[in-house]
């Protein structure tokens, strides 16, 4: 035994001393003594048996075939391997360090999604395991051109991420930009991929999500085929798709499974619903405070009557009820499911009717607020629904300030902002000026499926 090897082993042993789940075993094999080191929490007993102990006892050669040799110089690297769930084997006689990938941490099985559920179409969703997720995609795209690059991010935790793309379709410029952005990240640790997303987005300050996020393998595969780039992260369920456009936030993968007429109708509903949800209550404020002339006489008299007991100006009235709705929503999502239902009933019926009867709110406003709260859940991407919640307050305040003029200013701001956004260098609002004429076939109106073969302009796919 040489001294240096022994030193390294001692050093490793020293470093793992205070980790309780470390297992250090000495074994006698055909090729002399061996020391085995692994973390029991990351490796299942069965895997260990079949991959390490049985071969070690019976056919040591098999071990040499499946394991890889490791240089002894880099202690940090060795420790990293241990952390990743690999088993270290040190053969004393030959002073050889070998490592076998035995990572087999328990994962949950594939279940169906709750956040992006559809009626038609495959029901499986990604899980928190990187391997499972990649496998779910690879099953759908059986094409040797599908590449996945694995790298680690997080300066202190070493989380694995995987970049998936189809080599002969993806735009190389986009890919390089993305790689560079990921390389530049200096962030200690990630618990979910959405944190990574916020770091690599073009404008991290914007309230709008500039990359698509999904937990549905079918939707992700569809984007891959279109030439987008997909990022997975170990331990997080969702995948990032980029580049994407504002319009795609309103596209659900179910649109492609439905008949084209239904799909078009639903898309229109979602798209205009987004604008309605941020405009309804501000309209109420501006009509009541600044422009009563825009409303019909009869409706106005009704409004006068229902507001006659309300002590606040419309702006405060609206802010009040909007905040109550936010509270209800937040309370509902934090509570256990069974209690949550009760809260819905208490909030919706009791507070609503009681507030009207107590003369705190006008009943027309209750109708409007309830509608706009429902409308805000229409976008299939939950992040966009949250965005609309936030933006609505900007609209409410500007309407309270300058009525319809303020509303239009806010509207102009919204468009100016959306027009300035980029997603991985491509304009976020691309369908405004479609980059390809064929993009129009799959916009607010989804054309029959046979027209949807072409790639979207926004992915700037390679020409064949």
Partner 1 sequence: MSRKLLYVTLCIQLFVLAACTEKEIKVPLEDVGMVGIIAFDYIDKDSMKLTVAIPQYSPEAQRSTQTFSVTTELVSNGIVEIEKLSDKKIVFNQLRVVLFNEEFARQGNIRKVLQHLYRNAEVGNKVLIAIVKEKGEEMLKYNYPDKPNINFYLNDLLQPSINTAFNPNTNIHDFMYTISNPVFDPTIPFIDKNSDKIEIKGIAVFKGNQMIELITPNEALIIQAIQGKKNLAPLDINMEQGHGKEKLLIDLVENDVHIESNKNMHSPKLTIALTIKGTLSEYKGARENDLFTIESLADLEKDVNKELEQDIKKFLDKLNEWQVDPSGLSEYFRMYHRGKWTTEKKREIISKVAIDVQVKTSIISTGTLK
Partner 2 sequence: MSTGKSKKKLLNAYHVVFLAQSVMIGTGILSLPQQLSSLGYSQALMPLIFGVIASVTLYPMIWINSKFPNDNLFRINEILLGKWLGKCINLFFVIQFLVFIAGIISNYMHLIQSTALQEQTITGPVFCFLLLLIYIVSGGIKSIARFCIMTFFLTIGFLYFTHWAFEKGDMSHFLPLFNFFSVNDFYEALKRGYLSVLGYELVMFYFPYIVDQKKAFRHSLIGIWISILLCFITTAISVMYYSEWQLEYVEFSVLNLFKAGEFSFIERIDIFGITLWVFLILSTVAAYLWCAKKGVETLVSKKSNVYLYILVAIIFFVVKMPSSREFQDKLFTSANYVGYMLILWPVLLMMVYVLRKKKQVQV
Residues that bind partner 2 in the complex, under the rule CB under 8 A: 290-291, 293-296, 299, 398, 401-409, 412-413, 415-417, 419-420, 427, 429, 432-433
* The only residue of 20, 71, 293, 433 in contact with partner 1, by rule CB under 8 A: 293
When CB distances are held under 5 to 8 angstroms depending on the partner's kind, the choice from partner 2, partner 1, none that residue 119 binds is none
At CA 98, angle to CA 97 and CA 102, rounded to 5? 140
When CB distances are held under 5 to 8 angstroms depending on the partner's kind, the choice from partner 1, partner 2, none that residue 303 binds is partner 1
Shortest Å, Cβ 432 to partner 2: 6
**Cβ proximity to partner 1, 339 vs 419, nearer residue:** 419
Q: Does 300 bind partner 1 (CB under 8 A)?
A: yes
Q: How many other C-beta atoms are found inside a 10 Å radius of the C-beta of residue 326?
A: 13
Residue 373 CA: distances (Å) to CA of 117, 304, 366, 367, 433: 20, 24, 10, 10, 31
When CB distances are held under 5 to 8 angstroms depending on the partner's kind, the choice from partner 2, partner 1, none that residue 205 binds is partner 1
When CB distances are held under 5 to 8 angstroms depending on the partner's kind, the choice from partner 1, partner 2, none that residue 408 binds is partner 2
Q: Does 304 bind partner 1 (CB under 8 A)?
A: yes
**x/- map, 387-416, partner 1, by CB under 8 A:** -------x--xx-xx-----------x---
Element (H, E) at 143: none
> Which of 159, 189, 164 lies closest to 178, judged by CA?
164
**Cβ proximity to partner 1, 98 vs 307, nearer residue:** 307
Shortest Å, Cβ 412 to partner 1: 12
Residue 296 CA: distances (Å) to CA of 282, 293, 307, 397: 18, 7, 16, 25
The size of the chain, in residues, is 464
Shortest Å, Cβ 314 to partner 2: 16
**Cβ proximity to partner 2, 22 vs 409, nearer residue:** 409
- The number of CA neighbours under 13 Å toward the Cβ of 461 is 20
At CA 253, angle to CA 440 and CA 441, rounded to 5? 10
Stretch that binds partner 1, among 151-159, 296-304, 367-375, 445-453 (CB under 8 A): 296-304
**Cβ proximity to partner 1, 73 vs 298, nearer residue:** 298
* The only residue of 292, 340, 359, 448 in contact with partner 1, by rule CB under 8 A: 292
Q: In this structure, are residues 202 and 159 in contact, taking their beta carbons and an 8 Å threshold?
A: no
Shortest Å, Cβ 293 to partner 1: 4
Shortest Å, Cβ 243 to partner 2: 16
When CB distances are held under 5 to 8 angstroms depending on the partner's kind, the choice from partner 1, partner 2, none that residue 350 binds is none
When CB distances are held under 5 to 8 angstroms depending on the partner's kind, the choice from partner 1, partner 2, none that residue 18 binds is none
* The only residue of 6, 32, 155, 313 in contact with partner 1, by rule CB under 8 A: 313
Q: In this structure, are residues 16 and 82 in contact, taking their beta carbons and an 8 Å threshold?
A: yes
**Cβ proximity to partner 1, 247 vs 290, nearer residue:** 290
Shortest Å, Cβ 317 to partner 1: 10
Q: Does 370 bind partner 1 (CB under 8 A)?
A: no
* The only residue of 106, 298, 337, 433 in contact with partner 1, by rule CB under 8 A: 298
Shortest Å, Cβ 420 to partner 2: 5
What does 198-260 look like in DSSP terms, one character per residue? HHHSS-TTSSS--SEEE--HHHHHHHHHTT-EEEEETT---EEEES--TGGGG--THHHHS-H
Q: In this structure, are residues 202 and 421 in contact, taking their beta carbons and an 8 Å threshold?
A: yes
> Which of 36, 89, 40 lies closest to 64, judged by CA?
89
Kindly report the three-state secondary structure assignment for every residue of 428-460. Answer: CCHHHCCCCHHHHHECCCECCHHHCCCCCHHHC
**Cβ proximity to partner 2, 89 vs 315, nearer residue:** 315
Question: Quick check: helix, strand or coil at residue 160?
Answer: strand
* The only residue of 240, 288, 328, 407 in contact with partner 1, by rule CB under 8 A: 288
**Cβ proximity to partner 1, 32 vs 359, nearer residue:** 359
Q: Chain-centre distance of CA 194, in angstroms?
A: 5
Q: Chain-centre distance of CA 280, in angstroms?
A: 29
The Cα 56–Cα 62 span in angstroms is 8
Q: How many other C-beta atoms are found inside a 10 Å radius of the C-beta of residue 304?
A: 12
Beta strands, E only, 319-452:
422-423, 426-427
* Residue numbers at the binding site for partner 1 (CB under 8 A): 205, 288-293, 297-298, 300-301, 303-305, 307-308, 310, 313-315, 394, 397-398, 400-401, 413
């Amino acid at each position: 035994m040489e001294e240096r090897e022994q030193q390294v082993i001692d050093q490793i042993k020293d470093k793992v001393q205070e980790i309780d789940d470390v297992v250090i075993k000495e074994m006698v094999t055909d090729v002399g003594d061996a020391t085995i080191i692994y973390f029991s929490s990351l490796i299942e007993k069965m895997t260990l048996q079949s991959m390490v102990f049985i071969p070690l006892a019976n056919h040591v050669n098999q071990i040499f075939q499946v394991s890889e040799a490791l240089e002894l110089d880099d202690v940090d690297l060795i420790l990293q391997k241990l952390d990743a769930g690999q088993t270290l084997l040190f053969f004393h006689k030959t002073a050889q360090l070998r490592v076998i990938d035995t990572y087999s941490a328990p994962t949950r099985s594939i279940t169906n999604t709750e956040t992006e559920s559809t009626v038609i179409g495959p029901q499986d969703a990604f899980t928190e395991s990187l391997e499972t997720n990649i496998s779910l995609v690879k099953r759908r795209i059986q094409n040797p051109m599908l590449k996945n690059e694995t790298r680690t991010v997080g300066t202190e935790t070493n989380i694995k991420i995987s970049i998936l793309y189809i080599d002969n379709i993806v735009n190389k410029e986009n890919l390089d930009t993305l790689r560079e952005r990921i390389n530049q990240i200096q962030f200690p640790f990630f618990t979910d991929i959405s944190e990574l997303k916020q770091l690599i987005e073009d404008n991290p300050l914007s309230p709008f999500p500039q990359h698509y996020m999904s937990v549905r393998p079918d939707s992700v595969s569809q984007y891959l085929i279109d030439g987008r780039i997909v990022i997975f992260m170990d331990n997080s369920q969702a995948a990032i798709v980029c580049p994407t456009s504002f319009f795609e936030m309103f596209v659900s993968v179910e649109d492609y499974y439905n008949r084209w007429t239904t799909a078009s109708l639903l898309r229109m509903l979602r798209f205009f619903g987004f604008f309605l949800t941020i405009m309804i209550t501000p309209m109420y404020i501006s009509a009541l405070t600044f422009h009563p002339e825009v409303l019909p006489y009869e409706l106005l008299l009704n409004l006068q009557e229902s507001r006659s007991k309300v002590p606040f100006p419309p702006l405060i009235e609206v802010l009040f009820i909007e905040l109550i709705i936010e509270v209800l929503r937040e309370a509902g999502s934090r509570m256990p499911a069974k209690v949550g239902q009760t809260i819905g009933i208490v909030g919706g019926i009791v507070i609503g009717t009681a507030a009207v009867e107590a003369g705190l709110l006008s009943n027309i406003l209750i109708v409007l607020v309830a509608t706009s709260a429902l409308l805000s859940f229409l976008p299939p991407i939950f992040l966009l629904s949250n965005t609309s919640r936030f933006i609505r307050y900007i609209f409410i305040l500007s309407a309270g300030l300058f009525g319809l003029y303020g509303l239009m200013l806010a509207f102009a701001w919204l468009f100016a902002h959306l027009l300035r956004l980029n997603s991985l260098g491509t304009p976020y609002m691309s369908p405004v000026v479609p980059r390809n004429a064929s993009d129009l076939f799959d916009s607010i109106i989804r054309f029959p499926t046979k027209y949807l073969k072409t790639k979207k302009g926004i992915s700037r796919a390679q020409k064949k």
